[in-house]
Amino acid sequence: MRQRRWAVITAVAGTVFIAAGAFWLSFTSLADLARRSGIGAGQAWAWPLIVDGIIVVATVAVVALAGKPAAWYPWALLIGGALVSVTANAIHAIIAADSDVPGSLAGAVAAVPPVVLLAITHLTVILARNDTASTPAPAPLNELTVIDAVAEEESEIETVDRRELAAALRGMGWSNKQIAGELDVHPSTIGRWLTNADDITTTSAPDQAAETNESKEES
């Protein structure tokens, strides 16, 4: 379990490092494209944050809302943000590439960072989520188990009360058969209850006598 956890931690650390590199490459390209497109140098840095930031946020939302009806919206944001980022990076590469480099090659190379950012962010979230899910949660308390435990405890209390009642009726001169009919149990059960009660009384009698003798001696 510990080895698996360390493997997950190492994988998450690696994916975060790769994601940071992909984000930086895409950031510089998109920021330069924003400046070339007329956005001031002081504000150009915000454009790649908006474009690539929506990819990260939408990826986390997609994983968090997996299987739920509302998941379509983060998926739409994720696809839209990824298309804008890949297209913008490719356009920037074609514009800024040297004349001896084919535009298709420059565009393909520039498209790698946003695609990797999309994939690696998704992988990071899945790894972190699976690591959390692998931690065993305490087993839920079964409702039937609780009911059975309560019923068993109540049954034990009822049995003790019936034994005391049987002993009291026996002291009043009732027979085992009469007591069994009154308590709705088999006569042999009454005999066993009263035998156990007699054994307890017999066992405790010497102790009580010893305590009485000690009290007399002290007085």
Q: What is the pLDDT of residues 139-192, one digit of tens each?
A: 555 555 555 655 665 565 566 677 888 888 888 888 888 888 887 888 888 888
Query: Is residue 200 pLDDT above 80, yes or no?
Result: no
Give the total number of structural domains in the chain. Answer: 2
Query: Is residue 57 pLDDT above 60, yes or no?
Result: yes
Query: Is residue 82 pLDDT above 80, yes or no?
Result: yes
pLDDT band at 46 (very low <50, low <70, confident <90, very high): very high
Which phi and psi angles does 187 have, rounded to 5°? Answer: -55, -35
State the residue range of the domain holding 103. 2-133
pLDDT at 112: 86
Tell me: do 97 and 150 sit in the same domain.
no
H or E stretch covering 96: helix 72-96
Give the best-scoring range by mean pLDDT among 41-50, 58-67, 144-153: 41-50
Tell me: do 104 and 153 sit in the same domain.
no
Task: Report yes or no on 177 lying in a domain.
Answer: yes
Which of 157, 162, 167, 170 has its CA nearest to residue 200? 167
pTM of the full predicted structure?
0.50
CA atoms of 25 and 101, how far apart (whole Å): 19
CA atoms of 106 and 109, how far apart (whole Å): 5
Contact assessment for residue 88 and residue 35, using Cβ atoms and an 8 Å cutoff: no
Between 215 and 40, whose confidence is greater? 40
Tell me: do 51 and 114 sit in the same domain.
yes
Tell me: do 35 and 93 sit in the same domain.
yes
Out of 133, 157, 184, pick the residue that ends a domain.
Answer: 133
Task: Report yes or no on 106 lying in a domain.
Answer: yes
- Ranking 26-30, 63-67, 117-121, 207-211 by mean pLDDT, the lowest is 207-211
Out of 133, 163, 185, pick the residue that ends a domain.
Answer: 133
Contact assessment for residue 82 and residue 69, using Cβ atoms and an 8 Å cutoff: no
Task: Report yes or no on 138 lying in a domain.
Answer: no
DSSP 199: H
Out of 81, 115, 133, pick the residue that ends a domain.
Answer: 133
Tell me: do 166 and 95 sit in the same domain.
no
CA atoms of 165 and 183, how far apart (whole Å): 9
CA atoms of 35 and 145, how far apart (whole Å): 68
pLDDT digits (tens, 9 = 90+) for 96-147: 877 777 878 888 888 888 888 778 777 776 776 665 555 555 555 555 555 5
